[in-house]
Structure 1
């Protein structure tokens, strides 16, 4: 199924949007929010979008400002501005009674949207979600790891290291091993697509803006964990059991705090969980969307 691409002018940005239209719209529309770094709507959702549309869902996946084919915004990316951006997208796309799903950075945007616009989304899906940890790493060495990352980020060394491996096929393939654990899913085509995004787009640069806002010397600026209990929207948390960036224990805690939270632990998968195990993730997403459809259908008298 071919995606339709269009550009949308929002109050504070212009974005490029991929859209997959079903032959018959029988389910809720779905807004998909990709992750950070060298990511885009096509990279994260190129397999998910057609599958959701084939099941009857109008599926919309924007490139965040500065990512993919979206031009940079006139404002520096911060979590608060990205959350406002999601609300503007919902209005511009004329979404109602919709579901929203996000990976990593997009997962944090999804939580922010649920808190900012309570009750608007009928269902939500968080994949490898950001915003559930106080620091970049847990454990005894967590504070040291976090401070080291802060210094690398502020000095510009992290950006320089990222640019260097983004120009090297072998280095990029090694870097993707933590994100996509399945060797069959970590194809040469994926490596080349990520390298092309890193080389030609501004996603790495604007993601660095967001990181500098979020990564303080001793903590992360945004932690949603203590704010999850008021969220009444049914939420599915999808997480790879080999995700080294976000420990599964943090996701389990989030699922317990959410009034309607359920968790799918995906065996053998890393952080880019839907690229790693689409065979498990896509059916789980569809099941969650179907349960939301049934919950919203009025029962006969």
Structure 2
């Protein structure tokens, strides 16, 4: 399948080219990956999105700008930049309404899109979403974020050994990381400009959570080294129509470490909350 799997490309009106997977037929479900050196939609969700397609959904898995096989411009990677790109992709595919599934930065993007365009989002599935406290708190408190930024800036991730060390921070059980995933991410990281991570700006949206009107399913691992699991409490207190699944012995990638539970619970949630 290669570093990004074989997918499709679309050029948005502003000239930005995005790469994405588009499989299955039915109600659209859009998977939004997190940040991090070498990330792509396929490498994050390859054990998940085919199951959703088989269950009768149309699955869209984009590479965010700066990641995967999408364009990687020298620009400021703000939350609104990502939301605009994702919204442009949905426009290009004529998707008026969809489910958003977001992990980490992807969770923050999903929340912001649902705040900006509530008519477009039928349900949210969030795995350890970002954007729930101030940026400084993430950098001061979270070991994974500190080490990720340093390793990327120092060029430590251009080989398999360095990348495997970093990805080990994402999981409680580092043995679950496949050689294929390591290789996929090394291939991407060599193309990423430093600004993709150094300029990333995600505001604290905790005060706006009450505006979210759609049903929400959340997941969080208690051993997360990137986004503190206290964010689940923040969301449960701020949102209506929400439930969370908390997991022990689980890091930042619930959909990898507990993929069968994740896939099963998500599909059940989508079925019961069909609009």
Coarse TM-score class (shorter-chain normalised)? 0.7 to 0.9
Q: What is the distance in 1 between the residues matched to 2:195 and 2:40?
A: 13
Matched with 2:153 is 160
Q: What is the distance in 2 between the residues matched to 1:59 and 1:243?
A: 27
- 1:189 deviates by 2.6
**What are the within-5 Å matches in structure 2 for residues 57-206 of structure 1?**
57-73=57-73, 75-137=75-137, 142=140, 159-161=152-154, 163-164=155-156, 166-199=157-190, 201-202=191-192, 205-206=194-195
- 1:126 deviates by 1.0
- Paired residues in the alignment total 268
User: Aligned with 2:121: secondary structure?
Assistant: coil
Q: What is the distance in 1 between the residues matched to 2:10 and 2:273?
A: 28
Q: What is the distance in 1 between the residues matched to 2:153 and 2:198?
A: 14
Task: Work out whether 1:228 is the aligned partner of 2:222.
Answer: no
CA change 1:66–1:247 in 2 (3 A) is: closer
Task: Work out whether 1:10 is the aligned partner of 2:9.
Answer: no
RMSD: 2.7
Q: What is the distance in 2 between the residues matched to 1:191 and 1:251?
A: 29
Q: What is the distance in 1 between the residues matched to 2:113 and 2:199?
A: 17
Q: What is the distance in 2 between the residues matched to 1:191 and 1:4?
A: 18
Q: What is the distance in 2 between the residues matched to 1:173 and 1:158?
A: 12
CA change 1:43–1:132 in 2 (3 A) is: same
Contact 2:65 / 2:85 at 8 angstroms: preserved in 1? no
User: Aligned with 2:273: secondary structure?
Assistant: helix
Contact 1:77 / 1:207 at 8 angstroms: preserved in 2? yes
Matched with 1:266 is 247
Contact 1:77 / 1:206 at 8 angstroms: preserved in 2? yes
Q: Please identify runs of 4+ aligned residues in structure 1 that moved more than 6 A.
A: none
Alignment TM-score, normalising by the size of structure 2 = 0.87
Task: Work out whether 1:40 is the aligned partner of 2:40.
Answer: yes
* 1:107-147 Cα distance to aligned partner (Å, 9 max, x none): 11101101110232110111121101224547xx948x89x
CA change 1:92–1:73 in 2 (3 A) is: farther
